[in-house]
Amino acid sequence: MTATDYLDLLIKSLLLAGIYAAMAVGMTAIYGVMKIVNLAHAGFLMLGAYFAYELFERFHLDPILGAMLALPVFFLFGMAVHWLLVRWLPKSDTPTLASLLLMFGFWLVLQNIGYLVWGNTAYSIFTPRSLASVRFGEISIPKDKLIVFAAAVVSLIVLQIVFARSWFGRSMRSLIQNPYAAAIVGVDDQKTARLSFAVGTAFAGFAGALLAILFPFTPDFGASFQLRAFVIIVLGGLESVSGVALGALILALLETFSINVPLPLYWHGWKFVYLPSSYQPAVSFVLLVVALLVLPKGIAGLLERKWRVA
Amino acid sequence: MKESSAFLAMHIHRRVARTLLLVGVVMFLGNLTWAADDAITIGIVMPTTGREAKPGLYQKEGIELAIKQINDQGGIMVKEKGKKLPVKTVFYDNGSDSAKAASLVERAMSSDHVTAVIGGYSTALAEAESVMPDRYKIPWLTGGAAATSIYSRGYKYIFGCLSPIALLGSTTAEFLGNLADQGKLKKGLKIALVVENTDHGVDYVAGVQDWIGKHPGYFTVVLNEKFDLGGTDFSGLLQKVKTAKADIFLSDAHLQDYITMQRQYLQAGLHHQVISYGARGPEADARKALGAGTDYILAALWWSDKLPYAQVQKFVADYKQMYNRGPDSWYAATAYDAMRILAKSIEAAGSTDGTKIRDALSKAELKGALIPGGVLKFGANGQAGYPFLVTQNKPEDKVDIVFPKDAATGPPVAPIP
């Protein structure tokens, strides 16, 4: 491979990281405040994909605009799901079995609703830019991936600003840091939890709509992304937007480069071998295990520790 | 006194109610047995949800069309009953899950006492299902699984209506060899093989390499990679393809992977003289998802609605009448033939006994089948072995059979413009 090929791969990894980060950030918002591992995340991604599809098919609305519209719609949907189901869960500082089962069950319900409404056809959104690319010499960048990346990055920056500057963001961070102290100083934990769940759902719907621009989807869409989202938030630290961005970047880089960079192997002497492409999905599993064993607070936690020491 | 007579009346009422309930249950069970005796029950185990839902639904539709036609003619003649019996079905959705598929086949054969099961789309699900039939001595047929590994374990009650995947691979290579002989492709071209990490993919590669090995000088394989089913990002893999500098891109993929990979292939600006995704190519979903991006893709198929046989045209018309749309790709046709050869074998066996039907299936020959060659029969391992045909997508949603010559509806376009 030439240097241009590596640069090409690096750009594609960055684009992939943007998509991964947008997909995982909703899960982080919910986990951070409520300590709920949202196993229905894949269901929200799937609904977001169909939401963009319906707007595109019925009203010829550009899927990027559809994704923007998904934010308020899924925010309200998240509020409703919280009011209907999630608020009844017992409070806990750690994920509970009840929350896992509830969200997993809700995912199955969403999937089956998907089958009832849309059947099992593999839908896709095909626009004039679906197959178009921007070319820089040997390097080819898909237009739709570029647009999705830009939308994802902008949304992450906005979310980071909201978390850092707004009343809601301060409440949220205080609950993440110490829920008891937050309660003493008057933070309304129920209201913050409801809003956090709604924000998480809104971003899942938004990400689902963006993913629909890139991939075909059926009602079981989202399962493979859900695993990646989980790896990313474990890797990035379970409670921060910047950690998610970092986790997404690491996963995307490793997935893309692991099969294209020769790895040293000692077998009757040193030699360089390429990892077979079929091992690519194992990268996320290995990362998950490593992160859980070595970096239980994620890379963000590690960096924080280093700063404190310094 | 009054209390004791009321107690007695209540006691009698309870006894009467119990007796009536018992009689009801006995009558119900008797009725069930009678109903089972008066019909042939076929279990259909297919994925109508999950990632294989679409082909699974098409296969189910093909089977149901065949059953409707059989029942319209009064059913299947069963000699030992002395009359024609209608065919009933029990349908099980395996949700595209292997473990569920195996347990549903077991349930059909053990507690639901079906005469035979048709299942097994796709390869992974079929592999799980295929361990059950010999255990219960009930025949199992599939119109959707072709990996050789399924039929090489010595099972006696499994029958596959699809030709082996290895033959799919070798037919594709043979067709490319033909193009080289015609001067449309140069000899000595380099092939990149990128297949799904399943027995299906492994067999495909074996078929291509077998042909290349027997015909030296035609092609060389410069890349042989596998990918996981349901992939989302193929950019790393496609980079390997680009680096390999191959002339021909041969893949073997399921529908969703085909759509995702071809999209990323085009976005990456890749171009090869020939592209194929194994048995995928002309599906309407892919054409809708990629538009002109699927033009000129080759597919080696078990069936096409363009086959110049009267029975094929009749099947297409009947299918359209029943479902208000034409059959999408080959899925429904092979399942339709599976049901027809099963019906023929039950009639030949003259019995609903599993072993007798199995013996009849192993000798059965379905003339007027929809497949290339028009005759469906099983080899010693239970798998059919008829020739493949090669189709090519053309602009404006046109699909032509381009190989073999006697079935061709249009000339092959190679290299791809």
Q: Region B67-72: what's the mean pLDDT? A: 97
User: How distant, in Å, are the alpha carbons of A273, B257, B362, B379 from that of B383?
Assistant: 39, 27, 10, 5
Residues of B in contact with A122 (CB under 8 A): 54, 255-256, 259, 285, 289
Q: In this model, does residue B27 exceed pLDDT 70?
A: no
Which residue range forms the structural domain that includes residue B104? Answer: 38-163+307-386
Which of A85-94, B125-134, B210-219, B294-303 is the least confident region? A85-94
Number of structural domains, chain B?
2
Q: In this model, does residue B30 exceed pLDDT 60?
A: no
- Tell me if B15 is assigned to some domain: no
Which of A117-131, B313-327, B386-400 is the least confident region? A117-131
**Is A120:A112 a contact under the CB 8 Å cutoff?**
no
What whole-number distance in Å separates Cα of residue B231 and Cα of residue B251? 14
The single residue listed with the structure tokens 């219960």 is B136
Between residues A6 and B250, which one has the greater pLDDT? B250
Q: In this model, does residue B199 exceed pLDDT 80?
A: yes
For the stretch B190-218, what's the b/e string if a residue is b when 16 or more beta carbons lie within 10 angstroms of its beta carbon?
ebbbbbbbbbbbbbbbbbbbebbeeeeeb
**Is B327:B62 a contact under the CB 8 Å cutoff?**
yes
Residues B196, B276, single domain; the answer is: yes
Q: pLDDT for B123-181, tens place per residue?
A: 889 999 999 999 999 999 999 988 888 999 999 999 999 999 999 999 999 999 999 99
Helix pair A41-59, A189-214: axis angle to 10 deg: 60
Q: Region A236-251: what's the mean pLDDT? A: 82
Strands, E assignment, B277-388: 298-301, 365-367, 375-377
Q: In this model, does residue B33 exceed pLDDT 70?
A: no
Q: In this model, does residue B248 exceed pLDDT 90?
A: yes
Residues B402, B261, single domain; the answer is: yes
A27 to chain B, minimum CA–CA distance in Å?
20
pTM of the predicted model as reported, rounded to 2 decimal places: 0.79
Q: Region A179-188: what's the mean pLDDT? A: 86
Residues B272, B364, single domain; the answer is: no
Residues B355, B340, single domain; the answer is: yes
User: Count of residues for chain B?
Assistant: 417
Residue partners of A157: CB distance under 8 A and separation at least 6: none
What whole-number distance in Å separates Cα of residue B228 and Cα of residue A281? 7
What whole-number distance in Å separates Cα of residue B345 and Cα of residue B347? 5
Strands, E assignment, B253-377: 274-276, 298-301, 365-367, 375-377
What was the pLDDT predicted at A261? 82
Residue A32's identity, in one-letter code, is G
Helix and strand tally (H, E) in chain B?
Answer: 14, 16
Average pLDDT over chain A, rounded to an integer: 87
Between residues A148 and B4, which one has the greater pLDDT? A148
Q: Region A121-126: what's the mean pLDDT? A: 85
What was the pLDDT predicted at A83? 94
B244 to chain A, minimum CA–CA distance in Å?
9
Helix (H) or strand (E) holding B386: none
**Is A250:A18 a contact under the CB 8 Å cutoff?**
no
**Chain B residue closest to A126 (CA)?**
B289
CB nearest to B256's CB, from A5, A122, A132: A122
CB nearest to B240's CB, from A214, A219, A277: A277
Residues of A in contact with B239 (CB under 8 A): 1, 5, 8-9, 12, 256, 260
What was the pLDDT predicted at B8? 54
Q: In this model, does residue A268 exceed pLDDT 60?
A: yes
- Residue-wise DSSP of chain A: --HHHHHHHHHHHHHHHHHHHHHHHHHHHHHHHH----TTHHHHHHHHHHHHHHHHHHH---HHHHHHHHHHHHHHHHHHHHHHTGGGSPP-SS--HHHHHHHHHHHHHHHHHHHHHHTT--B----TTTT-EEEETTEEEEHHHHHHHHHHHHHHHHHHHHHHHSHHHHHHHHHHH-HHHHHHTT--HHHHHHHHHHHHHHHHHHHHHHHHHHS-B-TTTTHHHHHHHHHHHHHH-TT-HHHHHHHHHHHHHHHHHTTTS-EEEESSSEEEEPPPGGGHHHHHHHHHHHHHHH-TTHHHHHHHHHHHH-
The single residue listed with the structure tokens 């799904």 is B196
Which of A282-296, B111-125, B282-296 is the least confident region? A282-296
Q: In this model, does residue A169 exceed pLDDT 90?
A: no
CB nearest to B51's CB, from A9, A16, A220: A220
- Tell me if B355 is assigned to some domain: yes
What was the pLDDT predicted at B176? 96
Query: Phi and psi (nearest 5°) for A208?
Result: -60, -40
User: How distant, in Å, are the alpha carbons of A87, A257, B52, B90, B166 from that of B144?
Assistant: 46, 36, 11, 19, 15
Strands, E assignment, B181-284: 189-196, 219-227, 248-252, 274-276
The single residue listed with the structure tokens 């689902």 is A208
Q: Do B236 and A278 touch (CB under 8 A)?
A: no
What was the pLDDT predicted at B114? 96
What was the pLDDT predicted at B140? 97
Other Cβ atoms less than 10 A from the Cβ of A76: the count is: 12
In terms of Cβ atoms closer than 10 Å to its own Cβ (0-12, 13-18, 19+), residue B17 is exposed
B46 to chain A, minimum CA–CA distance in Å?
13
Q: pLDDT for B348-376, tens place per residue?
A: 999 999 999 999 999 999 999 999 989 99
Q: In this model, does residue B9 exceed pLDDT 70?
A: no
What was the pLDDT predicted at B32? 44
Which of A18-27, B218-227, B266-275 is the least confident region? A18-27
Q: In this model, does residue A37 exceed pLDDT 70?
A: yes
Q: Do A9 and B235 touch (CB under 8 A)?
A: yes
In terms of Cβ atoms closer than 10 Å to its own Cβ (0-12, 13-18, 19+), residue A301 is middle
Residues B198, B211, single domain; the answer is: yes
User: How distant, in Å, are the alpha carbons of A156, A265, B396 from that of A161?
Assistant: 9, 45, 49
Q: In this model, does residue A272 exceed pLDDT 90?
A: no
Q: In this model, does residue B34 exceed pLDDT 70?
A: no
- Tell me if B412 is assigned to some domain: no
Between residues A169 and B86, which one has the greater pLDDT? B86
- Tell me if B25 is assigned to some domain: no
Q: How confident is the model at residue B13 (pLDDT cuts 50, 70, 90)?
A: low
A140 to chain B, minimum CA–CA distance in Å?
6
Q: Region A70-82: what's the mean pLDDT? A: 96
Indicate which of A56, A120, A133 best probes the interface with B, i.e. most B CBs within 10 Å of its own CB.
Answer: A120
**Is A214:A16 a contact under the CB 8 Å cutoff?**
no
Q: How confident is the model at residue A273 (pLDDT cuts 50, 70, 90)?
A: confident
What whole-number distance in Å separates Cα of residue A244 and Cα of residue B120? 41
Helix (H) or strand (E) holding B402: strand B398-403
Residues B118, B259, single domain; the answer is: no
What was the pLDDT predicted at A201? 95
Residues of A in contact with B260 (CB under 8 A): 215-216
Residues B101, B212, single domain; the answer is: no
User: CB of A140 within 8 Å of any CB in chain B?
Assistant: yes
Q: Region B186-197: what's the mean pLDDT? A: 95
Query: Phi and psi (nearest 5°) for B46?
Result: -140, 155
Q: pLDDT for B262-275, tens place per residue?
A: 999 998 889 999 99
Q: In this model, does residue A41 exceed pLDDT 90?
A: yes
CB nearest to A255's CB, from B197, B236, B285: B236
Q: Give the CATH number of the domain where residue B218 resides.
A: 3.40.50.2300
Q: How confident is the model at residue B21 (pLDDT cuts 50, 70, 90)?
A: low
Q: Do A218 and B239 touch (CB under 8 A)?
A: no
Q: In this model, does residue A178 exceed pLDDT 90?
A: no
How is residue B274 written in tokens? 């020939």
**Domain positions in chain A:** 3-219
The single residue listed with the structure tokens 């071809």 is B262
What whole-number distance in Å separates Cα of residue A192 and Cα of residue B29? 59
Q: In this model, does residue B72 exceed pLDDT 60?
A: yes
**Is A205:A199 a contact under the CB 8 Å cutoff?**
no
Indicate which of A117, A133, A146, A215 best probes the interface with B, i.e. most B CBs within 10 Å of its own CB.
Answer: A215
The single residue listed with the structure tokens 């990918």 is B227
From the list A197, A200, A198, A205, the residue with the least C-alpha distance to A67 is A205
What was the pLDDT predicted at B228? 86
Collapse the DSSP code of B267 into the 3-class scheme (helix H, G, I; strand E, B; otherwise coil) and give the result.
helix
Question: Nearest 10 degrees: CA dihedral of A243, A249, A95, A305?
Answer: -40
User: How distant, in Å, are the alpha carbons of A161, A297, B349 from that of A233?
Assistant: 19, 10, 61
- Tell me if B7 is assigned to some domain: no
Give Cα B205 distance to the centre of its chain. Answer: 20
What whole-number distance in Å separates Cα of residue B299 and Cα of residue B282? 7
| DSSP percent split of chain B into helix, strand, coil, nearest 5 | 50, 20, 30
- Tell me if B129 is assigned to some domain: yes
Radius of gyration of chain A (CA): 20
Residues B42, B128, single domain; the answer is: yes
What was the pLDDT predicted at B28? 47
Q: Do A135 and B269 touch (CB under 8 A)?
A: yes
Beta bridge partners, A142, equal: A133
Collapse the DSSP code of B288 into the 3-class scheme (helix H, G, I; strand E, B; otherwise coil) and give the result.
helix
Residues B183, B140, single domain; the answer is: no
Q: In this model, does residue A308 exceed pLDDT 70?
A: no
Q: Do A220 and B48 touch (CB under 8 A)?
A: no
HSE-up of B412 (CA within 13 Å, CB side)?
A: 27
